[in-house]
Amino acid sequence: MSSTASPLAVPEPWDLVAPDYVRELLPMFETFARDALARTGTSTGSRVVDVAAGPGTLSLLAARQGARVTAVDFSPRMLATLRERATSEGLDIEALTGDGMALPLPDQKFDAAFSLFGLMFFPDRPRGFRELHRVLVPGGRAVVSSWLPFEHSPTMNTVYQSLAELMGGGSGGPRDGMMPLSDKETCRREMTASGFDEVDVHEVTARVEYPTTVAMVDALMRSSAPVVLARKALGDTWPSLQQALEVKVSALLGAGPQVGLFNAYLTTGIRHPSAASKTRHSQADKR
């Protein structure tokens, strides 16, 4: 089964959003990365692959723990940011430009494989899951994260619903409110179908505090990849639209401090020690 293509399945939006992505969202993403690393038992000497690694949130945390990390992403600017951050800390991370659906990596090399908020946007998610399975050693563990629907975070939902209304759109949020892997059953089914065993889905929440509603809206507008595409398309008309959004959301939520809840599923699975027979189809999916 193929997945519906997302406008986020190409490098451009991630290149555009890279600087503010790190500036505004790093603490939130570190919450999920720490949880993911803990669920795999990553420690000194562990061989880790971070697929769709972005600016290296998980990669850097794993490297600080002494893991041997390979990071893969298709966005040159995200990878440049990752390399700069690793160099500034003296961390040795192998950073590769590559496609998560055809990883430039050998079979059975890694003890743990991750894709945090990356694989969910792949045009062919099943192939992405199978690639994670392929590069794991028998007994290796994988974690794939994805977002819960925005309804689970009323404050965030208000922002994106208001944006959609101002733009004359639908229900709000990226892709008209439809997020990939946004229910437990789909997460469990797709990871299991790729050959993983002991698949489970965990809900994790990260809390971000903003001093004012305007500050929250501004941060979200600068760090959301779908929004940066809209900003680019709207050009000179964007500032007035964002100002209208700030007024609208302030009227709904008040102008004072706000708390944004980022709710995610972390889907975990293990490559069974006798899983060789389950990957017979993976060779055909390589480049």
pLDDT at residue 173 in the model: 43
pLDDT, residue 13, reads 63
> Domain 7-147+180-205+263-274: which topology?
Rossmann fold (3.40.50)
In this predicted model, what pLDDT tens digit does every residue of 68-85 receive, in sequence order? 999 999 988 889 999 999
Nearest to 142 by CA among 58, 75, 56: 58
Burial class from Cβ neighbours inside 10 Å (0-12, 13-18, 19+) for residue 196 reads buried
State which residues of the chain have pLDDT below 70.
1-24, 169-178, 274-287
Can you point out the beta strands (E) in 74-183?
93-97, 110-116, 136-147
Instruction: Tell me the angle at which helices 57-64 and 76-89 cross, rounded to the nearest 10 degrees.
Output: 20
pTM of the model as a whole: 0.85
> Each residue of 214-248: pLDDT tens digit?
999 999 998 887 888 888 888 999 999 999 999 99
Query: Looking at residue 9, what is its pLDDT?
Result: 62
- Distance of alpha carbon 116 from alpha carbon 126, whole angstroms: 16
- Which amino acid belongs to residue 123? P
Whole-number pLDDT of residue 6: 65
For residue 14 the two structure tokens come to 């991630």
Domain boundaries, the chain: 7-147+180-205+263-274, 150-177+212-256
pLDDT value of position 137: 98
Contacts of 17 (CB under 8 A, 6+ apart): 222, 223, 224, 225, 228
